[in-house]
Structure 1
Amino acid sequence: MTITREPTAAGVAIAARKVAEILPATPLLPLEIDGRTIWCKAESLQPVGAFKIRGAWHRLTDLDEAQRGAGVVGVSSGNHAQGVAWAAQRLGITATIVMPVDAPAVKLASTRALGAEVVLYDRPGGEDRDEVARRECEKRGAVLVHAFADAWVIEGQGSTGIEITAQMQALAGGAPDLVVAPCGGGGLTAGLALACPDARIVPVEPEGWDDVCRSLVAGRILPVDPFAPPTACDALQTPSTKPITFAVLKQRCSFGLVATPAEVRAAQRLAFAKLRLVLEPGGAAALAAVLAGKVELGERTAVVLSGGNTDAEAFVRVLAGED
């Protein structure tokens, strides 16, 4: 079962109030870059290690009793999976998550530990995850909770921007004029655009998976190249954005940026050294672009550190400079 409507700024405000009732605001940490301060939003410190808990909570708390009884199906490489599983467990809702066979082990284990059933699909083999999710929804009569093509999810992710604005007004003397964020399907970026209407919003994608960047230039949705290279940024590895997200992005984002693997690893190392944070590759993408000088900083720049769910062995290799 799918339910559609358009995301709104009013919906973001509602989501922010709902999230604030159950979760403390994540820290906004100052970081000096070439003599200027940027403000890093540590979403990696959420209970599930990523911002995805926001959209999942807003979505699931708006289900009626019949929908809750039927359960939900999510599609994710791991962060949205954990967000949906966390919210479902807290609300007593059955959750099924469609995940790729090559998802990081830590994300698979955490999703299952939160009580969700995991259905695997063959991402390397080109299996369509949305089609797998559709079949699961039909089989179970469940509600689809899409990772980014869902109004409630977009609004929930936008609550990040509400928090950033309040924190920067207190710490930096005003609301952000630039927000740089990792981008996969565009749910977070679209939510930030609704939450921070006066700020420039810049999405950052991993090299080879820059479909949103290219779509913004073309003015229409373009998919990832079928021969896109492997990327460590599994959280940002989406085939294409969707109309519901692109409708917001094309109005508010004039361009996007691409972070290379080396730039992402450098950002992971710096975040660990300077901020004492563990970031997964996708969670470090926005910081990577900023550190590489790919965007002109504003007077009050916010950078979203979107997730920290990385396998320990992989992170050790990054810190050691082996990758």
Structure 2
Amino acid sequence: MTAPACCHINDVRAAAATIADHIVRTPLIAAPWSGGDLWLKAENLQPIGAFKIRGATNAIARLDPRARARGVVTHSSGNHGQAVAWAARWRGVPAVIVVPEGASAVKTAAIRQLGAEVVVVPAEDRAAAVDEFTARRRLTFVPPYDHLDVIAGQGTLALEVLDDLASIDTVLVPVGGGGLISGVGTVMSSLSPRTRVVGVESELAADARDSLVRGRRVSWDPALTSRTAADGTRATVVGELTFPIMRATVAEIVTVTEDEILAAVSALARRAHLVAEPSGALAVAAHLAGPSRYGRSVAVVSGGNIDPPVLARALCESMRKDHSLS
């Protein structure tokens, strides 16, 4: 499979040079406790606790200087908002983050701490609020995933993976709107075509799976996707730009249960000493559910911004199950 013309490996390489001094080159960590040959790409160790810093930093760096000086706006449930706020602060420009009601308190507080203006609206009003800011204050919209500079930035983590580990059978990637997996797919299809790129979603928010199966973008009702604890992947439909890239470069998308997601959060904390949010643990959850399926694998731990009660619940559930088996 080859990536379509809208996304090139050279775009990802250029992004890597652009952002190199402003992100962490995250480690690839062996997971011998996983039941298979698994390695963890620990993006939860980024300055904002998630991979989103890569795409936002690249996109804001590449803006026309006059547009960048006026400021940027985005909508986000948390991690992309933090990434835009962080990159805007680095560039010394204003940032407005439109956050849906009910978003993670940890992530929303972090956005404010980075100096961005936070505007909370009902989830269905996010796009309209962004449109208002772009019209009234002439801010530039930095999309969460459906933007070529964002996709190229996210793909830089795959360049690091290939630098660190040879002969990879499978890369497991969490899927929301498709920006991360599109970037990873672009790199793997160009540099390691034998490596399968497998997306992972919660079974409660499986719009990307349905889209690939049906060959067209399938939208899920927000009332359905809001049920999953993996709040970073509650996008109701994959992007117009990301979908064709996914079709060309992604082998399949698998789903995991909510119990499997929380078990992966616990396993990462207890066995790998990594704090992962539910969205960040999706890829590990898929591997733990069927390690023999994937061969030598890399799971992207995409984020670690977890609300304390969710982490406590995951650990308590894991301990309860351990005690019931003993």
TM-score above 0.5, yes or no? yes
The corresponding residue for 1:178 is 170
Amino acid at match of 1:72: V
Change (3 A) 1:250 1:128: farther
Measure the CA separation in 2 of the matches of 1:128 and 1:13. 36
The corresponding residue for 1:39 is 39
Return the offset for 1:137: 1.4
Amino acid at match of 1:178: T
Structure 2 spans left out of the alignment, 5+ residues? 321-326
The corresponding residue for 2:267 is 270
The corresponding residue for 2:246 is 249
The corresponding residue for 1:161 is 158
Return the offset for 1:305: 0.3
Query: Among 298, 305, 312, which residue is 1:302 paired with?
Result: 298
The corresponding residue for 1:218 is 214
Change (3 A) 1:217 1:21: same
Return the offset for 1:122: 1.1
Return the offset for 1:295: 7.3
Alignment of 1:52-67 (within 5 A): 52-67=52-67
Amino acid at match of 1:176: I
Change (3 A) 1:179 1:103: same
Alignment of 1:195-210 (within 5 A): 195-197=187-189, 198=193, 199-210=195-206
Worse-matched range after superposition: 310-319 or 274-283:
310-319
Worse-matched range after superposition: 13-22 or 56-65:
13-22
Measure the CA separation in 2 of the matches of 1:226 and 1:91. 34
The corresponding residue for 1:171 is none
Measure the CA separation in 2 of the matches of 1:314 and 1:50. 17
Change (3 A) 1:42 1:195: same
2:34–2:291 CA contact under 8 A, matched in 1: no
Measure the CA separation in 2 of the matches of 1:135 and 1:258. 36
Provide the TM-score with structure 2 as the length reference: 0.91
Change (3 A) 1:226 1:268: closer
Return the offset for 1:282: 0.6
Q: Deviations over 1:115-134 (max 9, x none)?
A: 111111212xxx14223222
Measure the CA separation in 2 of the matches of 1:215 and 1:118. 32
Matched, 1:321 2:313: no
Provide the TM-score with structure 1 as the length reference: 0.92
Measure the CA separation in 1 of the matches of 2:240 and 2:275. 33
Change (3 A) 1:291 1:35: closer
2:265–2:278 CA contact under 8 A, matched in 1: yes
1:33–1:291 CA contact under 8 A, matched in 2: no
| Number of residue pairs matched by the alignment | 310
Worse-matched range after superposition: 145-154 or 307-316:
307-316
Measure the CA separation in 1 of the matches of 2:72 and 2:143. 10
Measure the CA separation in 1 of the matches of 2:129 and 2:106. 22
Change (3 A) 1:25 1:31: same
Change (3 A) 1:34 1:70: closer
Amino acid at match of 1:260: T
1:72–1:145 CA contact under 8 A, matched in 2: yes
Alignment of 1:1-323 (within 5 A): 6-32=6-32, 35-123=35-123, 127-168=124-165, 174-197=166-189, 198=193, 199-225=195-221, 227-228=223-224, 230-293=227-290, 296-298=293-295, 300-321=296-317
Measure the CA separation in 2 of the matches of 1:34 and 1:105. 31
Amino acid at match of 1:185: G
Measure the CA separation in 2 of the matches of 1:68 and 1:205. 34
Q: Percent identity?
A: 39
Worse-matched range after superposition: 246-255 or 286-295:
286-295
Worse-matched range after superposition: 179-188 or 29-38:
29-38
Measure the CA separation in 2 of the matches of 1:160 and 1:308. 16
Change (3 A) 1:280 1:35: closer
Q: Deviations over 1:149-200 (max 9, x none)?
A: 11100000000101111111xxxxx142311011100100000001111121
Measure the CA separation in 2 of the matches of 1:129 and 1:187. 19
Consecutive aligned runs of 4 or more in structure 1 exceeding 4 Å deviation: none
The corresponding residue for 2:324 is none
SS at match of 1:49: coil
SS at match of 1:74: strand
Measure the CA separation in 1 of the matches of 2:71 and 2:158. 29
Q: Deviations over 1:94-151 (max 9, x none)?
A: 111111111111101100110111111212xxx1422322222112111110000111
C-alpha RMSD of matched pairs (Å)? 1.8
